[in-house]
Amino acid sequence: MYSVEAFTEEGERIGELSFSQAESDDQYTAPYWRFMWAHLDFLGDKFKKQGIGRAALEMWHECSREKAVVARNDGITREDGSSHLTGDAPGFVDRMVQEGLLLYEN
Q: Residue 89: what pLDDT?
A: 83
How confident is the model at residue 78, as a pLDDT? 65
Enter the pTM of the model.
0.81
For the chain, which residues make up each domain, given as ranges?
Answer: 2-104
pLDDT in tens, 14-56: 999 999 988 877 776 777 888 988 889 999 999 988 999 999 9
8-19 average pLDDT score: 94
Question: Contact 13/48 with Cβ under 8 angstroms?
Answer: no
The residue count for the chain: 106
pLDDT at 106 over 80: no
Rounded distance between C-alpha atoms, residue 86 and residue 77, angstroms: 11
Instruction: State the average pLDDT over residues 95-100.
Output: 93
Find out whether 40 and 53 touch, Cβ atoms under 8 Å: yes
Q: How far apart are CA 24 and CA 6, in angstroms?
A: 30
**Architecture field, domain 2-104:** 3-Layer(aba) Sandwich (3.40)
Distance CA 13, CA 60 (A): 18
Which backbone phi and psi does 45 adopt, to 5 degrees? -85, -5
**Strand pairing class (13-22; 32-39):** antiparallel
pLDDT of the residue at 32: 85
